[in-house]
Amino acid sequence: LQVFEQRYGAVHPSFHIGTLKSALTAAFNVPADLKRPLIVFLHSDRALTGHLFCSQVICSESIASYIDQHFVMWAYDLTEKRLQQQILTECQAIFGFSGRKQVENVRAGQVALMIVITKVQSAPQVF
Q: What is the mean pLDDT of the chain?
A: 86
Is the pLDDT at 125 greater than 70? The verdict is no
40: CB partners within 8 A, 6+ apart: 20, 23, 74, 75, 76, 114, 115, 116, 117
What percentage of the chain has pLDDT greater than the value 70? 90
Give the torsion sign (CA, 89, 23, 63, 118): positive
Residue range 104-114: average pLDDT? Answer: 68
Is the pLDDT at 108 greater than 60? The verdict is no
Burial class (CB in 10 A: 0-12, 13-18, 19+), 92: middle
Q: 43-69 pLDDT, tens per residue?
A: 888 777 788 889 999 999 999 999 999
What percentage of the chain has pLDDT greater than the value 90? 44
Is the pLDDT at 114 greater than 80? The verdict is yes
Which one has a higher pLDDT value, 126 or 81?
81
Residue 104's alpha-carbon distances to 20, 27, 123, in angstroms, are 16, 23, 20
Give the orientation angle of helix 81-104 with respect to helix 20-28, to 10 degrees. 50
Q: What is the pTM of this model?
A: 0.85
Burial class (CB in 10 A: 0-12, 13-18, 19+), 50: buried
Q: What is the CA radius of gyration of the chain?
A: 14
DSSP H helices in 1-127: 2-8, 20-28, 48-53, 61-70, 81-104
Is the pLDDT at 127 greater than 60? The verdict is no
